Amino acid sequence: GAVVSQHPSRVICKSGTSVKIECRSLDFQATTMFWYRQFPKQSLMLMATSNEGSKATYEQGVEKDKFLINHASLTLSTLTVTSAHPEDSSFYICSGRGLAGDQETQYFGPGTRLLVL
Amino acid sequence: QKEVEQDPGPLSVPEGAIVSLNCTYSNSAFQYFMWYRQYSRKGPELLMYTYSSGNKEDGRFTAQVDKSSKYISLFIRDSQPSDSATYLCAMSANTGGFKTIFGAGTRLFVKA
């Protein structure tokens, strides 16, 4: 299967600071990338969808000015949590949609655990 | 009604048992059906991918799709403790920007 990496895997920050999470598709070109957040024992909640070179499309209830998404290339997308607060603490997972072999589907990164103190 | 319904479990089985995981859905436009396995504190890993109806087998895993009943299943044969994880079903239609809808996930425990 295709490989998606995320960095960092874990981050602890102070309230009010900004945190950037990188997502890279390593062996395929992700025409579309998705950002999810997941709370403990809950399913994935889609935050936003981004296509390379275009503005991200945010899901209802997700503040676009707080969660800045940049999809500068077919292999890199970044999520910046601006002015983070404790309620932003969560598990953030990116996913790349692309053609890997003969299948076009979504492949997930390992996730980034964010803790805001 | 949610678009995708999945029993969150937990489901506990002895090692070697056959495990059956299921999801139902309401949107008849769904054509792509996936099963993901997620270990604690890790990102989901794609297990099986099926287009439209039918069965697909990969090692100990078999995915079934019954579009007439809007019902999909994942079977795990000869279950192992290492299969203990949360299993998420997911599906999408090839319209509207390929948005994937996920089930809540079923937590599976395989006891040695």
User: Is the sign of the CA dihedral A55, A11, A75, A109 positive or negative?
Assistant: negative
- Answer yes or no: do A44 and B41 touch at CB < 8 A: no
Task: Say if CB A19 and CB A78 are below 8 A apart.
Answer: no
- CA torsion angle A21 A26 A31 A37 (round to 10): -30
Q: Over pLDDT 70: what percentage of chain A?
A: 94
pLDDT tens digits for range A45-95: 899 999 888 889 999 999 999 999 998 888 999 999 999 999 999 999 999
Question: What angle (nearest 5°) sits at the alpha carbon of residue A56, between those of residues A25 and A20?
Answer: 60
Chain A interface includes B61 (CB < 8 A): no
Task: Please answer yes or no on whether B44 and A110 come within 8 Å at the CB atom.
Answer: no
Q: What is the pLDDT of residue A65?
A: 94
pLDDT digits (tens, 9 = 90+) for B16-67: 999 999 999 999 989 889 999 999 888 999 898 888 888 999 999 999 999 9
What would the pLDDT profile of A82-103 be if each residue is shown by its tens digit? 999 999 999 999 998 876 566 6
- Reply yes or no on whether the pLDDT at A9 is more than 90: yes
Interface contact flag, B41 A108, Cβ < 8 Å: no
Residues of A in contact with B32 (CB under 8 A): 105
